[in-house]
Amino acid sequence: MKRVLTGYRPTGRLHLGHYHGNIEHMLKLQNEYECFFFIADWHALTTDYENPENIAEYTREMIIDWLAAGIDPDKAAIYRQSDVREVSELALYFGMISPLGWLERNPTYKEQLRELKERHLQTYGFLGYPVLQAADILIVKGEIVPVGEDQLPHLELTREIARRFNFLYGEYFKEPQALLSETPRVPGIDGRKMSKSYGNAIFLSDAPDVIRNKVSAMFTDPRRIYLKDPGHPEECPVFALHKLYSAKRFNEIEKLCKNAEIGCTDCKKELGERLVEFLQPFQKKREEVLSRENVVSKVLKSGLEKVIPIAREVISDVHDLMGLKKI
C-alpha cells in the first residue's frame, strides 16, 4: 500500500474552505492508502516565532476538527511534527546538501517574504522551510503528497533534495508525487477566498445562529440594488455557496435570481438553513469527540506509535549510508 502524507500548519479551527479543499480529499484517501496526517507546528514557528504561545492550542483545535470531520485515527496516523525528533535530524542533514540558490529561488518563499512584510522573516529557519518539509515527507518515505497548488514548488524541492541525497550517498529515497485535489471555489462572507486571516470564514464548529448571522451578512451581487433588479448569480458569493450546499435547488435559484423573483434576504436565509443542515453531523460528532477524555493526547500518542518505528529506521539507514556512526 502506498504511503500518503500531508501536513497542516496549526491555524486553529477549520473552515469550509479547508473542508472542500483538503479534508474531503483526506477522508477518501484514508480508506485507500496508508496515511500520515500531521500538524506542522515547527513550520508555524518559522513565521510566528515571536508569538509561539498559540501554537499548542491551535494544534489541539485542528485535531478536534479533523476527528469531528471523520478523519479516523484507526486508519490514519495523526501526529504532531515536533513529537518526531527524527524529522529535525533529517532536516539537518538535508540542510547540509541544499544549495542556497535552490531555496532563494523558490517562488513561494519570495511571495511570502513580500506578503508578510511586517514580520522579520530574513531568518535561517524561514529560508529552510522547504528543507524541513522535505524531511517531513521523507522521514516516512511518503510517496503521495496531497497539497494545494501553492505547495508545488516545495514539493519540487523535496524531489531535488531526495535526488541529491541519492547521488551523494546512494540510491535510497523515492521522489514523492504531488496529488492536487479539485478544489471548488469557496468564497468567504465578503466574496474573497475564504481564509481565517481575512476574517471572512465560516468555521465547521460555528453554532447554528453564528452560521445564520454570518450568511445574512454576506455580500451579494452589487448590481442588484432593488428587488426588481435582475441578479447575476455567477457574480454572487451566496450563489457560489448554494452550488455547494443546495444541490436540488441551485438551478431554480439561478433562474429566480436572474428574473428578480427572489430577494437576497430570502435567498440568504435559505442558504443559512442549508449550511446549518450540512454542518449538523459534524457538530454532533464534535460533541462526541469532546466528551472523550484526553482525546487529543490519546490520538497523538497512537499516531506517534505508528510513525516512530518508521522514522527511526530511516534515520538509521541514513546513518549507514553516510557512514556516520561507524565507531
Which residues here bind ligand SF4, judged by CB under 6 A?
A: 220-221, 224, 231, 233, 236, 238-239, 257, 262, 264, 267-268
Q: How far is CA 263 from CA 160, 228, 258, 269, in A?
A: 55, 9, 11, 10
Q: Smaller CB distance to ligand SF4: residue 264 or 318?
A: 264
Q: What is the dihedral of CA 106, 109, 113, 114, to 10 degrees?
A: 60
Total residue count of the chain as it appears in this document: 327
Work out whether 151 is an interface residue with ligand TRP (CB under 6 A). Answer: yes
Partner from ligand TRP, ligand SF4, none contacting 136, C-beta within 5 to 8 A by type: ligand TRP
Pick one of 133, 181, 200, 246: the residue that binds ligand TRP (CB under 6 A).
133
Pick one of 136, 206, 221, 270: the residue that binds ligand TRP (CB under 6 A).
136
CB of 271 to ligand SF4, least distance (A): 8
Is residue 176 a contact partner of residue 158, using CB atoms and an 8 Å limit? Answer: yes
Find the radius of gyration of the CA atoms of the chain: 22
Q: Which of residues 20-49 bind ligand TRP (CB under 6 A)?
A: 40, 43
CB of 258 to ligand SF4, least distance (A): 8
Work out whether 137 is an interface residue with ligand TRP (CB under 6 A). Answer: yes
Buried b (16+ CB within 10 A) or exposed e, 162-177: bebbeeebeeebebbe
Q: Is 152 exposed, middle or buried (0-12, 13-18, 19+ CB in 10 A)?
A: middle
Partner from ligand SF4, ligand TRP, none contacting 157, C-beta within 5 to 8 A by type: none
* C-alpha to C-alpha distance for 125 and 309, rounded to whole angstroms: 27
Interface residues with ligand TRP (CB under 6 A)?
A: 5-7, 9, 40, 43, 133, 136-137, 145, 147, 151, 154
